[in-house]
Structure 1
Amino acid sequence: MKIAVVILNWNGVKLIEQFLPSVIQFSPEATVYVADNASTDESIEFVKNNYPSVKIVQNSTNSGFAGGYNEALQHIDADIFALVNSDIEVTENWLKPIVETFDAEPNTAIIQPKILDFKRKEYFEYAGAAGGFIDKYGYPFCRGRVFDTVEKDNGQYNDTSEIFWASGACFFIRSAVYKELKGFDEDFFAHQEEIDLCWRALNKGYKIKYNSESVVYHVGGATLQVANPQKTFLNFRNSLLMLTKNLPQRKLFQIVFLRLLLDGAAGVKFVFSSQFAHCWAIIRAHFSFYRLFLKNYKKREKNQTEIYFKSKSIVYGYYVKNGTVFADVI
């Protein structure tokens, strides 16, 4: 298979300098690309001067994660796209088990490796961990990470298994499926667009896998810090857009209404913890969702999968039953 490892970059020369060498060293079977989102720093000059073997795709504007990849991948010819954050350190033979799974399973369209924390390498990393799921209200969580609780990697998820969504931090997808699904939804800009894409793939009958034999380390929050209210805005708004597009019709309005109420409760929690900017971000997210509702409702496919959730409610399991790990809340 022709594999393209594509690193999306925006003003990340320091990250490129730190992490590009491991990608080049451990990806001899792939062509490495840097897809640049109209950076204004020295990223492109650095790559050209130091790594001439790396191909560069320069996007016209910074259209976020979704638009950035959609634009760049139009110019890349490969069977498999490996979409890799600029703050990912890969390991030896990280591509081999992924390619073997794709070869053996024609209906598997998307794969995620084991994602560990670059700063605490014995722990899973927040963005993806050992594969993603969502609960009945559309809240995403992972094997290895439920809300803000992250598990230590003791080998408990050393397997190859079906998951609901793969992390955008390190996301493998067949190029034919990417094109069939018309890529990421650019209304999302960034955050949860990979969950939306995975859900749409499931609605088409494809499978999504996690493979623990491939291991990468992720810094996390290098582009947009966790404490940034804009991240709160994008996560809350995009989650509602994703539900609007993909929930089974008979459950759509009930669950979206409940989510709006639960979002309000989260806003109150932010107020009581004096995080007023995050409360305002939720309010902005809801108004943005209202503006985009009809547009995204029209994007719905004819068939929506009924097996979309892994647990009854992780909010209940985590905050009421005090569950802290994946096994406690499913």
Structure 2
Amino acid sequence: MQPPLVAVVILNWNGRRHLEQFLPSVMAASYGNQRVIVADNGSTDDSIAFLRERYPAIRIIELGRNYGFAGGYNRALKQVDAPYYILLNSDVEVTPGWIEPMVQLLESDQQIGACQPKLRAYHHPELFEYAGAAGGWLDRYGYPFARGRIFDICEVDRGQYDKTVPVFWASGAALFIRSAVFHSAGGFDEYFFAHQEEIDLCWRVQLAGHRVFACPASVVYHVGGGTLPRGNSRKTYLNFRNNRIMLSKNLSWQEKLWVMPFRYMLDAVSAWKGLLTGDGGYFVAIVRAHMSYVKWRLFKRHLSVFPKERGRPVEGRFKGNLVWLHFVKKKKIFAEIVKKEA
């Protein structure tokens, strides 16, 4: 019996060098029923010519212009018919049997809507990778972290997070999701453009009654930061803006009454710390992010995708204050912060 079809969809924007370097590992995967698709976000390099010459079997979806991560995938996936999608960054090296464990996991439980493999750092393969590590969590005030990564600290992978467990969010660098779940949730929120759109999606997926899992039996290696490296002002702006919008969309109204003001205070402290330490760009990016949030509330809210249901309680939500525990209490690793889930 043939295994279910998995569509591996790579969103590309001027990433010819990444396609040349990492597509061979994707094409060499051992899974017996995968279809590889490259969705091009209006590249101006020779990505498409390279694909047509070297990989004629790969389907190319030309989107015409750069719609960002969220808009690009939304448009591409409307044109892909498969029961499972893998949204894969172009700068990811996969291992031969990386798809099978994730298929087995979702086939074993229809309530699981999405999962992610274990992400290690391509240039430091002994470390977990920033963009998801071994599965994402969210603290009370909306700060994302992961099993194996707290803020900028990435742990050495010693097998400490090799248990298959529910998490809050799965990394967009290698997101395995049921196509029906993706579309019924409304896809990504295109207002986000890029950054934290997968966290917002996973939150809505959970509120609709599905579960999100980490599947560490599957392993990939991610370069990360290829488009906007950490520390980039544009990335700071998008992260702070999108995080605030995400909280406003998905929190219950009771939580919003106290979470949103406290988060505003934490952001202000972070902005002023940046300014006083000489990082004026960081300060300006946070101020702009909050101004854009107000604009979204007043004029653009109708463009966002909101939860359709509020079903079972979400998993992977830490009830404590990550900022306090990390920066004041000096807790550096996931197991010190979320002890019962380590």
TM range (shorter): over 0.9
Residue in 2 aligned with 1:194?
198
Stretch of structure 1 that moved more, 309-318 or 133-142: 309-318
1:262 is the counterpart of 2:266 = yes
1:329 is the counterpart of 2:333 = no
Stretch of structure 1 that moved more, 297-306 or 275-284: 297-306
Structure 2 counterpart of 1:289, from 268, 290, 293: 293
Residue in 2 aligned with 1:162?
166
| CA distance in 1 between partners of 2:37 and 2:105 (Å) | 23
Structure 1 counterpart of 2:8, from 2, 5, 8: 5
Counterpart AA for 1:9: N
Per-residue deviation, 1:258: 1.0
1:320 is the counterpart of 2:324 = no
Give CA-to-partner distance per residue, 1:101-158, whole Å, 9 cap, x none. Answer: 1111111100100000000001100000000010000100000000111100000011
1:77-96 pair list within 5 angstroms? 77-96=81-100
Structure 2 counterpart of 1:97, from 101, 116, 139: 101
The question of whether the paired residues in 1 share the 8 Å contact of 2:207 and 2:313 is answered with no
- The Cα RMSD (Å) is 1.4
Counterpart AA for 1:4: A
Question: Unaligned regions of 5+ residues in structure 2, if any?
Answer: none
Residue in 2 aligned with 1:249?
253
| CA distance in 2 between partners of 1:300 and 1:211 (Å) | 25
Per-residue deviation, 1:300: 5.0
Give CA-to-partner distance per residue, 1:5-25, whole Å, 9 cap, x none. Answer: 000000011111111111011
Runs of 4+ aligned residues of structure 1 deviating over 3 Å after TM superposition are 294-302, 304-308
1:45-194 pair list within 5 angstroms? 45-194=49-198
Counterpart AA for 1:22: S
SS at match of 2:190: coil
| CA distance in 2 between partners of 1:302 and 1:79 (Å) | 22
| CA distance in 1 between partners of 2:278 and 2:50 (Å) | 42
Per-residue deviation, 1:327: 1.4
The question of whether the paired residues in 1 share the 8 Å contact of 2:206 and 2:314 is answered with no
Per-residue deviation, 1:227: 2.0
1:15 is the counterpart of 2:18 = yes
Distance 1:302 1:182, change over 3 A: closer
Question: Unaligned regions of 5+ residues in structure 1, if any?
Answer: none
Counterpart AA for 2:242: N
Counterpart AA for 1:266: S
Residue in 2 aligned with 1:310?
318
The question of whether the paired residues in 2 share the 8 Å contact of 1:246 and 1:301 is answered with no
The question of whether the paired residues in 2 share the 8 Å contact of 1:311 and 1:329 is answered with no
TM (normalized to structure 1)? 0.97
| CA distance in 1 between partners of 2:17 and 2:54 (Å) | 13
Per-residue deviation, 1:253: 2.9
Counterpart AA for 1:230: R
| CA distance in 1 between partners of 2:256 and 2:110 (Å) | 31
| CA distance in 1 between partners of 2:327 and 2:185 (Å) | 36
1:41 is the counterpart of 2:45 = yes
Give CA-to-partner distance per residue, 1:142-201, whole Å, 9 cap, x none. Answer: 000001111000000111110000000000110001110110000000000000000001
| CA distance in 2 between partners of 1:6 and 1:181 (Å) | 18
Give CA-to-partner distance per residue, 1:45-83, whole Å, 9 cap, x none. Answer: 001100111110111220100000001111111110000
Provide the aligned length of Structure 1 versus Structure 2: 330
| CA distance in 1 between partners of 2:10 and 2:188 (Å) | 16
Give CA-to-partner distance per residue, 1:261-302, whole Å, 9 cap, x none. Answer: 111111011112211111100011000000112544883545
| CA distance in 2 between partners of 1:186 and 1:28 (Å) | 33
Distance 1:304 1:278, change over 3 A: farther
